[in-house]
Copies of this chain bind each other. A is one copy, B any other.
């Protein structure tokens, strides 16, 4: 156990922050960490949009349907970005050869790795973070708001600041169900296997300090798969609109 791992084992989502701003030196240091993150074939296909404009932050809060997004002292939007490199390739003589899905997914890999690396740096400094997946509720609106060019796509938000919130650790599915040796860790009946975890989550929701409710993990899972979000399920069409080729002709 060391300080890094201690912070990692104590990760909680921090939704509320003090008004105190994050020092600019800290932000710059964390951007250096972002820059040094591992990257697929060295292509560095991720970009951060740092949100300072209050009105734009409120639009993002509206997209994410969470007021507290607009209140956070700092908000980064992580972009999967093939634009910069594609322009370089075009300038060097590449013909019209827009990136296909393999390149999109490599940019996505760069982006999520960079987001987590950034979050680890922030938490190591005692700051609190909140990953915001809900920016994808209306990716077209976000793309316009951030003036994102072709061959880019927003994938994740990260708000951070000095924590004004101290939520309990959320229980997790036991490791043995999430780690297999040499093949997939297959069980006949996960609902039964996870009975104790389900109970633990129910107790967690029932006894936590804020936002108490009657709920269980398995009910959340049922609702999760029962409710399709049509705006979000059309993500491939949004990716295509941004210029990526979904299916290579030679692949039919």
Which residues of A line the B interface, CB within 8 A?
1-5, 7-9, 11, 13, 29, 31-38, 40-44, 46-53, 56, 79, 83-89, 91-94, 97, 99-103, 105-106, 108-109, 112-113, 115-117, 119-121, 124-125, 131, 133, 136, 146-149, 152, 155-156, 169-170, 172-173, 175, 177-186, 189-191, 194, 217-222, 224-226, 228-230, 232-237, 245-248, 250-251
Contact = CB atoms under 8 A, between A and B. Distances in A.
Total copies of the chain:
2
A92 B175 CA distance: 23
Contacts of A246: 236
B9 A32 contact: yes
Contact of A184 (B99, B149, B180, B250): B149
A237 B236 CA distance: 13
25 contacts: A2-B124, A3-B124, A4-B124, A8-B36, A31-B175, A31-B179, A32-B175, A34-B178, A47-B185, A48-B179, A49-B180, A50-B180, A50-B181, A87-B190, A88-B221, A91-B189, A92-B219, A93-B222, A99-B225, A100-B228, A101-B236, A103-B224, A105-B136, A120-B120, A146-B183
A36 B9 contact: yes
A251 B224 contact: no
A88 B180 contact: no
Contacts of A235: 101-102, 105
B236 A247 contact: yes
User: Helix, strand, loop or mixed for chain A's interface?
Assistant: helix
B222 A251 contact: no
Top-3 shortest CB links A-B: A112-B112, A4-B124, A116-B116
Contact of A182 (B53, B175, B190): B53
A131 B40 CA distance: 8
